[in-house]
Amino acid sequence: MRIAEAFGRGRPVVSFEFFPPKTEAGFRSLYRTIGELKHLDPGFVSVTWGAGGSTRRATVELVARIQQEIGITAMAHLTCVGSTPQELGEILDRLEGAGIENLLALGGDPPRDQPGYRPTPGGFTYACELVSFAHTRWNFCVGGACYPETHPRAPSAEADLAHLVRKVRAGVDFLITQLFFDNADYFTFVARARAAGITVPIVPGIMPVVSRQNIVRITALSGARIPPELAARLELAEDDPVRTLEVGVAWATAQCRELLDRDAPGLHFYTLNQSPATRRIHASLFGE
Ligand SMILES: Cc1cc2nc3c(=O)[nH]c(=O)nc-3n(C[C@H](O)[C@H](O)[C@H](O)COP(=O)(O)OP(=O)(O)OC[C@H]3O[C@@H](n4cnc5c(N)ncnc54)[C@H](O)[C@@H]3O)c2cc1C
């Protein structure tokens, strides 16, 4: 199913994001997680593309297996980093050959372990180039990323939005946001995007805080701001894993409830390949 067709049918499109594990044990555990989340009847699941293209094979195999064997619509992430257009074309061929209809086209980040990194000669730098390329020979439903708190490398919020407009015009059917903890950032961003002429669904990306280490890592990677009230609640949890998880689940549940009440088209959960927090939030929202 093409993901864009799932929006606007009177039901929020709930999706779960996974990353390809590095070990066999990790894959076994991931398939258990996916099995547990399948009961929640997601609109789709997505599989990330490793930084620097490190998981290319695993991503293609995983989306194919999830869709063909587990029976959930699966979307592959793909970045411009580390691949020539010819290599990207070969990946798109393989995805299409496996029956994958949905692609999240991303610019990607320069590899952190290569300080002098330069884009692949003849390759693409920005997601909009990959979006255009994917429409040259293939027939994917294409998603793109967007940033309610502005992309960390953008010179300004205005420039970031202008680039987003260009990316959507290149052929993006829906957007998924970077994770955020303050819904005001999402609502303000959606209003700005609509004023700039972007009409495609903008799905909020949600990541519940599940541990102290997790929040430090996520905020460093995403640049997401922790609102003072959430920071105070985490402080009160005093690094206790159970209490921290309770705070994270309660916060994300309240975020999701308000987002749906105010007409967000769906919810995209960054699951970190684990199901408990996401299942609890889902149960609170949808009673399953
Ligand atoms: C939902 C989601 C999923 C993600 N999945 C992955 C994943 O699987 N693998 C992975 O490695 N990373 C992933 N990322 C991270 C993403 O690759 C990084 O945030 C990356 O830095 C930007 O990707 P983008 O597609 O948003 O890039 P772009 O749309 O290319 O934007 C990147 C930056 O360049 C600027 N820009 C865009 N076009 C131009 C232009 N023409 N000229 C000048 N500046 C321009 C933008 O304003 C922005 O600052 C994901 C992010 C999100 C939100």
For ligand 1, what atom is nearest to the CA of residue 167?
29
Ligand 1, atom 30, lies closest to the CA of 126
Spacing, Cα 274 to ligand 1 middle (Å): 24
Alpha-carbon distance values, 106 to 101, 117, 126, 271 (Å): 16, 17, 7, 19
pLDDT digits 0-9 by tens, 208-244: 999 988 888 889 888 999 999 999 999 999 889 999 9
Cite the beta strand spans of the chain per DSSP E. Answer: 13-18, 44-47, 74-79, 102-106, 141-146, 174-179, 202-206, 266-270
Q: Which residues contact 54 (CB under 8 A, 6 or more apart)?
A: none
Architecture of the domain made up of 12-286: Alpha-Beta Barrel (3.20)
pLDDT band at 288 (very low <50, low <70, confident <90, very high): low
Quick check: pTM over 0.95?
yes
17 is catalytic: yes
For ligand 1, what atom is nearest to the CA of residue 222?
19
Spacing, Cα 233 to ligand 1 middle (Å): 31
How far, in Å, CA of 93 to CA of 91, rounded?
5
Please name which of 281, 279, 226 lies closest in space to residue 256, comparing C-alpha atoms: 281
Hey, where are the domains in the chain?
Answer: 12-286
Report, as an integer, the average pLDDT of 76-80: 97
How far, in Å, CA of 284 to CA of 198, rounded?
32
pLDDT digits 0-9 by tens, 56-77: 789 999 999 999 999 999 999 9
For ligand 1, what atom is nearest to the CA of residue 59?
8
Spacing, Cα 153 to ligand 1 middle (Å): 9
